[in-house]
């Protein structure tokens, strides 16, 4: 398994819309393993393939706490097929926007259809942190970042900060 470099804001790659996966094969399974290792190393609780530069509709999540047994989840071609009217607020962060956190309001429950790591059709009714995490990661597959859900002023401030940081690294 390999730890892959993370794509960081304001890299335009993060705005790409990822394409559906046509076949779940050994190469794809290797990518899911690399993504999990990259996420654990960061550490984070969710990672979309586009965040390691692969524009394919796939994401990994693990909400287990430190010291607990790992609970890796793999979602291939995930699709939100239902969401609740009631909403919840979580403070979100993102491995592509390091050390920045902001409260985001989203539907409290979602139903997601997807293929698992073996390519088998699955469906999950998620609430709590899993619901928020799934929505955050599925947004990535559509080129959407959690900062798109906060105020324009805050978003412009964080983009400016990361643009400046990226420039100083190049020079
Ligand atoms: Ni993210």
What is the CA(14)–ligand 1 centre distance, in A? 10
* Inter-CA distances, 59 with 12, 72, 119, 151, 171, Å: 19, 11, 14, 26, 33
Domains and CATH numbers, the chain: 12-170 (3.90.45.10)
Encode pLDDT of 82-92 as tens digits: 999 999 999 99
Tens of pLDDT, residues 144-154 = 999 999 999 99
Q: What is the reported pLDDT for 66?
A: 85
**pTM value surpassing 0.85:** yes
Q: What is the mean pLDDT of residues 110-137?
A: 98
Q: Which residues are catalytic?
A: 137
Distance separating alpha carbons of residues 49 and 132, to the nearest angstrom: 18
Q: In percent, how much of the chain has pLDDT > 70?
A: 99
Q: 69 C-alpha vs ligand 1 centroid, how far in Å?
A: 23
Cα separation, 22 vs 126, in Å, equals: 25
pLDDT at 1: 82
């Amino acid at each position: 398994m390999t730890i892959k470099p993370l794509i960081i804001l304001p890299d335009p790659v993060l705005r790409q819309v990822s394409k559906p996966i046509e076949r779940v094969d050994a190469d794809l399974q290797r990518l899911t393993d690399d993504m999990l290792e990259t996420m654990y190393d960061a550490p984070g609780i969710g990672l979309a393939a586009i965040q390691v530069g692969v524009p394919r509709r796939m994401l990994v999540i693990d909400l287990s706490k430190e010291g607990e047994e790992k609970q890796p989840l793999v979602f291939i071609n995930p699709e939100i097929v239902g969401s609740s009217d009631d909403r919840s607020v979580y403070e979100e962060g993102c491995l592509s926007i390091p050390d920045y956190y902001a409260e985001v309001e989203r539907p409290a429950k979602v139903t997601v259809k997807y293929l698992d790591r073996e390519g088998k059709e699955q469906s999950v009714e998620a609430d709590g942190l899993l619901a928020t995490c799934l929505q955050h990661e599925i947004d990535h597959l559509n080129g959407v970042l959690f900062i798109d859900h906060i105020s324009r002023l805050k978003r412009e401030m964080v983009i400016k900060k990361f643009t400046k940081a990226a420039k100083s690294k190049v020079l």
